[in-house]
Amino acid sequence: MIIELGENDKPTNKRYYAIIENQKGRTRTIYFGLKNPKIGTYIEHKNNELRKAYIARHYGNEKEKYLIDNLIPSASLLSAALLWSFFDESSTNLVKNIMILNSLWKKKHSNK
């Protein structure tokens, strides 16, 4: 579950950080999203063609596809789900996308 999300102020090329808490209560920080992207992300520009191109490019990578499909907390999953609305193409709202991803994680872990 995402318990905190913010703009990254550390000297990295990543725009955001998310603090993730697993079902055992352990936390970890994941940095994701390119800092100062040329065209922005779907939640900013709302361009569905750019969204489709992003998803095709990243989902075509077997490692990223595995991380996304299996909801494994990673920069790949967070970028796709939060910034590019992978799980709800109609959403351009970061808060809504966080709620969707947290709901999917909760559903995944309640089935175990």
pLDDT by residue for the chain (112 residues), tens only, comes to: 999 999 988 888 899 999 999 888 999 999 999 887 888 899 999 999 999 999 999 999 999 999 999 999 999 999 999 999 999 999 999 999 999 999 999 998 886 5
- Alpha-carbon distance of 43 to 82, in angstroms, equals 8
Strand-pairing partners, residue 17, are 6, 31
The reported pLDDT for the residue numbered 112 is 58
The closest alpha carbon to 18, from 33, 29, 7, 34, belongs to: 29
> Would you say the pTM of this structure is higher than 0.85?
yes
- Alpha-carbon distance of 10 to 73, in angstroms, equals 20
